[in-house]
Structure 1
Amino acid sequence: MKYILKDEYIELYKLLKVLDLVDSGAEAKMVIADGHVRRNGDVELRKRAKIIRGDVIEVAEVTIEVL
């Protein structure tokens, strides 16, 4: 899956919500806090991590390329 970034960055929990991978921001924050999200191959625990162009996010079997 590809996501075209409209601004300089998007916060991680907002990205999950925008792409409908979760039902709410609270659920997104819980998924991140539980260690289910990888950013560029490493577990990302920061809910408000600034996701920028070139980042690759993995949640379950979904891989997101940020363009």
Structure 2
Amino acid sequence: MQHIRFDLERDHVELNQLLKLVGLCDSGGAGKALVASGVVTVDGNVELRKTCKIRAGQSVRVGDVDIQVVAAA
């Protein structure tokens, strides 16, 4: 499993944008398609809301990639 740490510099990031920012897709639109396909989980639950607000402390998983979202220092 691949682990990615994402330093969040704002209050939140939209799920489709997070997938783009960590390099799992090429665009926000591709991120939306990935979420719509049902393969993305947030804190262990399937998430189908493409622009779901992701905050520090949450984890996102796509296949064998685990993204830990942490507050930027």
TM-score with structure 1 length normalisation? 0.96
Q: 1:52 aligns to what?
A: 55
CA distance in 2, matches of 1:26, 1:53: 23
User: Equivalent residue for 2:13?
Assistant: 10
Greater share of strand residues, 1 or 2? Answer: 2
Identity of matched residues, %: 40
Q: What is the aligned residue count?
A: 67
The list of structure 1 runs, each at least 4 consecutive aligned residues, that deviate by more than 2 angstroms after superposition, is none
Q: Name structure 2 gaps, 5 residues minimum.
A: none
Question: Which whole-Å CA distance do the structure 1 matches of 2:66 and 2:55 have between them?
Answer: 15
Q: TM-score normalized by structure 2?
A: 0.88
RMSD: 0.6
